[in-house]
Structure 1
């Protein structure tokens, strides 16, 4: 039947119309789909033993049922009926059969609601692919067409879920299509359901990865918000250097104390006994100068090493208001263990408080060092100048004794 002159002309008309006017994004409802629907309609129609005239009407409707895509995508059935009616009138096809063909075309509208056998056949032919092994390939083409025409992108899970719902609600209307295609359609539906589960699992996995990635980014951001390692190293090295300088100052003071103590011991054991004799009166002033300078040097050396401890009395409110530096023992030695632990937790939770405490510790350690080195410098200067004065005094005293 498809080799008849009528169908050769109809095929040519449909082919030329779709070739010249069909938009490029229509990749599913094209001539290939139309031809497949025609062949499926022929197969089902013959299996359902419809008359030759009904088969002719059915096949004409099959050839023309999607030609309306050349005009519009929405309500393309209406355009298909208009184009079909106009073309069939031009070739002098009977008017009553044209009306019948238009009704058959109208039955392909989703959701399908056929009212007679011919409408049932074309509905089954139009969705014939649901019960074939190339269902997935056709589904992918339809997805591309919808995305291209509607300017919308479907996620995998959205598209698969739509397919699952569509297949689950679909029914083949003719006995032949049901017997031949329903088993494979069920297999396709089970595969789609499996794909839905996979897609959901994949989505959950992706969301978990994104959550972990977000958490990792937040950790990195939190880490980035903290002072850099170089700043922490700066505090560590600077505090270490200050403590080392304090140790050096204490060592120098101890050296000066030791030397002064030795000198004082020698002076007291050697010079003082000689001052009892009137003949040694010339040694009194040089000795007193020498002893005075030694004692003053020792006093300044002791002052430079003398520790100072603060009161150590602070309340929780002082800690909450960040008024106290708990990193220095002198500030917490009278606090209870519980108050100290609470205060340290406050410092550890508050980055600004922590680094301000380190700054305070560094600052006040610097002030202590300044005082230490100032007193130590005075002590060394006194010792140096005093030794010179003492030697000069002894020289003058001896010269005075010779000339006197």
Structure 2
């Protein structure tokens, strides 16, 4: 009686496969507003988990479970925000079962992921190590930069804006209420963790002083726009970039399709014309010359469609020759110092002067951002007009080709 062996992935291989699966899933399905809980955050948690596991002297099996949990701990964000840990555990279990991973080890990985929930109890060393890795940003110099990403994410997903004072208060409360569980994490992060608490206290005091000393001034100081306005501009920029990328992809698709059609038609006719024997005896075009009509229509359609698609995909840079003659560069409604097509025409001194004006005047700042968005929209309008024309030509050409081919068949009969 033969014994059938089910081959399971090697230990190192299962972690490698998990990495590829998770990164692909996050890139495809993670909402765009999640700027903090990004693939970069997941990769950082995995890196820190590996370092903590090695420092703690984990066995190979436990280290593998820790790394698998680190890779999967945030995949639930692709479907749900609050309580994503539980969905992450479910998704990890589904994938691991497909890989033939042992059921008892799947349960370990799922328990580790659930332990990252804010209300969960962290009882085992593995759970504490994963939580320490997930919260490692508290003990890194990048804490404040990453905190701003989290602030933007919460504002985008929760519909609430935070003032600088509110956010500094929130961050300080979070740091004071948090701790590292394992010895390895304390040795790795504790010093910077304490420094971050001190810096956050200083930052909060400075913010409070500024709020007491001054209220927003119209000019003469660097502009500090409202968070809601910043969110609006950030969203508009993001939408413009996505629409532009979508237009370029559709244009590239039309270019590829029509280039293939043209190559096939030209190759076919070239081969037939190059063979005198075939041209005199076997070519369908000689027997029925009208068949050249649909082929000609298809070739003309492909040519016209690919030309408009190329015009859509080619870079379009707006510039102004009269920039140097404008005395008020920053406040001129038609000048966009935020776009290289404009400021590259200026001297370094003029550009620096203009940027200083922008940073010192709220009106100039908003004027340039609005101008930038306007010209982005102008370029986008041209792209979609050409793209629509390309698709219309292709559709009409296919219809005419089919009709003329049908007529040619009837004529032959």
Q: Please, what TM-score do these two structures have when normalized by structure 1?
A: 0.50
1:98 aligns to what?
Answer: 106
Residue in structure 1 matching 2:47, options 28, 39, 61: 39
Residue in structure 2 matching 1:182, options 178, 186, 190: 190
Q: Does structure 2 conserve the Cα–Cα contact (< 8 Å) formed by 1:112 and 1:123?
A: no
Q: Does the alignment pair 1:88 with 2:77? A: no
- Whole-Å Cα distance in 1 between the matches of residues 120 and 169 of structure 2? 20
Displacement after TM superposition at 1:184 (Å): 0.5
Partner of 2:58, secondary structure, is: coil
Q: Does the alignment pair 1:143 with 2:151? A: yes
2:256 aligns to what?
Answer: none
Displacement after TM superposition at 1:104 (Å): 0.5
Aligned length: 210
- Whole-Å Cα distance in 2 between the matches of residues 115 and 132 of structure 1? 25
- Whole-Å Cα distance in 2 between the matches of residues 168 and 65 of structure 1? 24
1:201 aligns to what?
Answer: 209
2:76 aligns to what?
Answer: 68
Q: Does structure 1 conserve the Cα–Cα contact (< 8 Å) formed by 2:11 and 2:64?
A: no
Deviations 1:15-71 (A, max 9, x none): 110011000000111111111101101100110011110110111000000000000
Aligned positions of 1:267-278 closer than 5 A: none
Deviations 1:359-379 (A, max 9, x none): xxxxxxxxxxxxxxxxxxxxx
Displacement after TM superposition at 1:206 (Å): 3.3
- Whole-Å Cα distance in 1 between the matches of residues 95 and 75 of structure 2? 11
RMSD: 2.0
- Whole-Å Cα distance in 1 between the matches of residues 126 and 77 of structure 2? 22
Displacement after TM superposition at 1:112 (Å): 5.4
- Whole-Å Cα distance in 2 between the matches of residues 68 and 208 of structure 1? 41
- Whole-Å Cα distance in 2 between the matches of residues 179 and 115 of structure 1? 20
1:153 aligns to what?
Answer: 161
2:32 aligns to what?
Answer: 24
Q: Please, what TM-score do these two structures have when normalized by structure 2?
A: 0.49
Displacement after TM superposition at 1:177 (Å): 1.0
2:22 aligns to what?
Answer: 14
Displacement after TM superposition at 1:205 (Å): 2.1
> Higher helix share goes to which structure?
1
Q: Does structure 2 conserve the Cα–Cα contact (< 8 Å) formed by 1:104 and 1:119?
A: yes
Displacement after TM superposition at 1:204 (Å): 1.6
Displacement after TM superposition at 1:131 (Å): 0.6
- Whole-Å Cα distance in 2 between the matches of residues 139 and 194 of structure 1? 16
Partner of 1:44, secondary structure, is: helix
- Whole-Å Cα distance in 2 between the matches of residues 31 and 24 of structure 1? 11
- Whole-Å Cα distance in 1 between the matches of residues 216 and 141 of structure 2? 34
Residue in structure 2 matching 1:166, options 149, 165, 174: 174
Displacement after TM superposition at 1:3 (Å): 9.4
- Whole-Å Cα distance in 2 between the matches of residues 123 and 188 of structure 1? 19
Query: Is there any run of 5+ residues in structure 1 with no aligned partner, and where?
Result: 211-404
